[in-house]
A and B are shown apart, each in its own frame.
Chain A
Amino acid sequence: MSAAALKKQFESMLGASRPSLELAPSGIPEIGLPRGCLTEIIGPASSGRTSLLVSLLAAATAREEVCALVDAEDSFDPVSAAAAGVHLPRLLWVRCSHNAEHALKAADLLIQGGGFGLVAMDLGDTPPRNAHRISLTSWFRLRRGVEHTPTVLVTVARQSNARTCASLVLECARERVVWSGARGTSQLLRGMRVRARSKTCSPVFTATAI
């Protein structure tokens, strides 16, 4: 019996008694992230995944939740984040100096500590080879740590690393870059149109630069 058939059978057995997940608003219509679960935001460079993450942080800090960002590659830009509406005093920023292993340990400690509305682990610039070295056991530990808590655990990476441990995978793809003005003289980067695909929906949002 295939895994899909097993899953279908299992879900039908649970029926209506299966509790629905509480979704945390992301600041983008149609996108809600399940609490107590691991969500992966994946995509290549300039695909809008960091814009989506910052939008999540802005929405969470606007709800007065305390958030943590574990930055594996020291790539977080506070100016952009503040401009996007992130309330910086409610954000804990952990800089891991290009060390994915440290990022994993720090994320684990933050989740075990509890009390955070959102814990994000940014592996966006980590080479895929290094990110893939993180064992499934580690991802499973993170998933178990966040289970039955109101915390949203998010990872940003180039490709999916957590595999079956992730409850939701949002794959970002850039549709087009919006420029304005005449090319070569008064051109201006206006923003980027991004499509975020998941199994259930594929909303489109525009990340504006100005």
Chain B
Amino acid sequence: MFACLHGNGNLTALAFEFSPVVEQTAPDTVTLDASGLDRLWGLPQDVAAAMARRAAEIRLKANIALAPNPDAAICAARGFTGVSIVPQGDEAKFLGPLPLAWLAPSPELLETLESWGIRRFRDLAALPPLGIAERLGPEGLRLRELARGEAERKLVPLEAPLEFEDQIELEYPVDLLEPLAFLLARLLNGLSARLATRALATDELRLRLKLENRTTHERTLRLPVPSLDTKAFLKLWQLDLAAHPPEAPIVHIWMGMNPVKPQAAQAGLFIPLAPEPVKLELTLARIQAIVGEGRVGSPELIDTHHPEKGTDAFFSPPAKNASVPFLVLRRFRPARAARVALASGQPGFIAAENIRGKVLEFAGPWRTSGDWWTTNPWARDEWDIALSDGALYRIYCEPRGWFVEGSYD
């Protein structure tokens, strides 16, 4: 038994609700293998009624036809409005009144048939096959089979959209992370197994928790490389939910995974060892849970000369030869406010938190300014100083006062 849906809208989605074998026959026509549906709904009329009901629910206008073969179902769906059931053995009689144009013959053949006075399915079906073969060739025979509802063929199935989602409706609200971890593990294992059977991995995991207070808590995990490591996924969810806990007990869990091809790169024999990406992600998540968000990552240089703009990103002078050690600055974050005694306009004595001493040597002032074209301009005078406590510091003076920026070490 085959069914055909002919109309407008998302017919494919409707067809997949009833059968896994679906053919997109035309943009407005979808054919599906309906064998076995009788066990669920009973008679073909009941199957067709179930489809019509579902189409009405999702506001889809479509002609529905059930027939013993796909082409008879297609002809019936295209030719008759509403629900049609083509009876087994009476296909030719049922399809008889339909015009030949539904079979979409070539213009020359249609013209020939019309000149013979053959305009409907029943006219063509009544002709002897030998005579048609002699006069019209294979195309004529094929049209006769279609007109009689006897054409047999296999469907060209459409691949079902790959969706890796799962959900659990909870009987009791869950408000602790530990019992939630068991449920998450169940979802993760199921989804990962489904991905593995299709030789896929995931690079993004989505979690949607419906809460008791009727709100939704959504989280997304993005992985640096595709993976199927369920233990790592579970630990990442635990760390993420510990850092961003839902505000009320959970009543429903939905999880989705983005399917992608797994990474198939082999590390070179002579390439230095690097951390395994998923393991590194887990390590970073664990460290982030200790030191706080935004405090783990690679430093990045931004295009500004302001020494304090941003906390971890600065404009850089061109790099020196790595073989020559460079005198580096240890920054005080935040810069330490200082009291400075001047001698002849230059720093003579400094007192700040844990820093106190006479200035023995100094270089400066180095005057810098910037952002004068914005509402937050800045300007400062910098000195490099050697203090009597034995250390070298960088100090600066700005309208707010004096500060020790850091020590050279």
B interface residues, how many (CB within 8 angstroms): 61
Which one of A42-50, A134-142, A161-169 is at the interface? A42-50
| A177 CB contacts on chain B under 8 angstroms | 361, 386, 392
Residue interface bits B220-259, CB-to-A below 8 A is 1, else 0 = 0000000000000000000000000000000000000000
Inter-subunit contact B319/A46 (CB<8 Å) = no
Residue of A nearest to B279 (CB): A113
Q: How large is the interface on A (under 10, 10 to 19, 20 to 34, 35 or more residues)?
A: 35 or more
Q: How far is the CB of B52 from chain A (nearest CB, A)?
A: 59
How distant is the Cα of A179 from the Cα of B362 in the complex, in angstroms?
9
How distant is the Cα of A184 from the Cα of B343 in the complex, in angstroms?
11
How distant is the Cα of A104 from the Cα of B258 in the complex, in angstroms?
36
16 contacts between A and B (CB under 8 A): A44-B390, A51-B325, A54-B325, A54-B328, A78-B299, A79-B307, A82-B319, A92-B296, A93-B299, A94-B291, A95-B295, A177-B386, A179-B361, A187-B362, A189-B327, A209-B408
Inter-subunit contact B409/A46 (CB<8 Å) = yes
Inter-subunit contact B291/A96 (CB<8 Å) = yes
| Interface presence of B130 (CB below 8 A) | no
Inter-subunit contact B291/A80 (CB<8 Å) = no
In residues 354-409 of chain B, which contact A (Cβ within 8 Å)? 361-363, 384, 386, 389-392, 406-409
Q: How far is the CB of B325 from chain A (nearest CB, A)?
A: 4
How distant is the Cα of A114 from the Cα of B278 in the complex, in angstroms?
12
Residue of A nearest to B331 (CB): A77
| B307 CB contacts on chain A under 8 angstroms | 79
Q: How far is the CB of B271 from chain A (nearest CB, A)?
A: 7
Known: A95-B291, A113-B280. A192 touches B361 (CB 8 A): no
| Interface presence of B276 (CB below 8 A) | yes
Q: How far is the CB of A175 from chain B (nearest CB, A)?
A: 13
Inter-subunit contact B275/A66 (CB<8 Å) = yes
How distant is the Cα of A15 from the Cα of B296 in the complex, in angstroms?
45
In residues 4-27 of chain B, which contact A (Cβ within 8 Å)? none
Q: Which one, A66, A82, A206, contacts B325 given CB within 8 A?
A: A206
Q: Which one, B272, B319, B321, contacts A65 given CB within 8 A?
A: B272
Residue of A nearest to B324 (CB): A208
Residue interface bits B317-348, CB-to-A below 8 A is 1, else 0 = 11111111111111111000000000010100
Known: A28-B325, A177-B386, A183-B361. A115 touches B279 (CB 8 A): yes
In residues 64-93 of chain B, which contact A (Cβ within 8 Å)? none
Q: How far is the CB of B13 from chain A (nearest CB, A)?
A: 44
In residues 88-126 of chain A, which contact B (Cβ within 8 Å)? 88-97, 99, 102, 105-106, 109-110, 112-117, 124-125
Inter-subunit contact A84/B273 (CB<8 Å) = no
How distant is the Cα of A191 from the Cα of B361 in the complex, in angstroms?
13
Inter-subunit contact A46/B326 (CB<8 Å) = no
Q: How far is the CB of A109 from chain B (nearest CB, A)?
A: 5
- Say what secondary structure dominates the interface of chain A: mixed
| A76 CB contacts on chain B under 8 angstroms | 299, 330-331
Inter-subunit contact A46/B361 (CB<8 Å) = no
| Interface presence of A59 (CB below 8 A) | yes
Inter-subunit contact A48/B283 (CB<8 Å) = no
How distant is the Cα of A65 from the Cα of B363 in the complex, in angstroms?
37
How distant is the Cα of A78 from the Cα of B275 in the complex, in angstroms?
22
Which one of B95-103, B141-149, B183-191, B308-316 is at the interface? B308-316
Known: A74-B331, A179-B363. A88 touches B326 (CB 8 A): no
How distant is the Cα of A93 from the Cα of B295 in the complex, in angstroms?
8
| Interface presence of B301 (CB below 8 A) | yes
| A205 CB contacts on chain B under 8 angstroms | 325
| Interface presence of B292 (CB below 8 A) | yes
Inter-subunit contact B409/A48 (CB<8 Å) = yes
| Interface presence of B290 (CB below 8 A) | yes
| A184 CB contacts on chain B under 8 angstroms | 344, 346, 362
| Interface presence of B109 (CB below 8 A) | no
| B409 CB contacts on chain A under 8 angstroms | 45-51, 124
| A48 CB contacts on chain B under 8 angstroms | 325, 327, 409
Counting chain B CB atoms within 10 Å of each CB, the highest count among A46, A125, A177, A208 belongs to A46
| A194 CB contacts on chain B under 8 angstroms | 325
How distant is the Cα of A125 from the Cα of B274 in the complex, in angstroms?
29
| A79 CB contacts on chain B under 8 angstroms | 301, 307, 314-317, 329
Inter-subunit contact A97/B279 (CB<8 Å) = no
Inter-subunit contact B406/A75 (CB<8 Å) = yes
Q: Which one, A64, A88, A112, contacts B300 given CB within 8 A?
A: A88
| Interface presence of A55 (CB below 8 A) | yes
Inter-subunit contact B312/A78 (CB<8 Å) = yes
How distant is the Cα of A55 from the Cα of B409 in the complex, in angstroms?
12
| B299 CB contacts on chain A under 8 angstroms | 76, 78, 81, 88, 91, 93
| Interface presence of B287 (CB below 8 A) | yes
Q: How far is the CB of A153 from chain B (nearest CB, A)?
A: 15
How distant is the Cα of A189 from the Cα of B361 in the complex, in angstroms?
9
| B391 CB contacts on chain A under 8 angstroms | 44-46
Inter-subunit contact A115/B275 (CB<8 Å) = yes
Q: Which one, A45, A84, A99, A179, contacts B326 given CB within 8 A?
A: A84
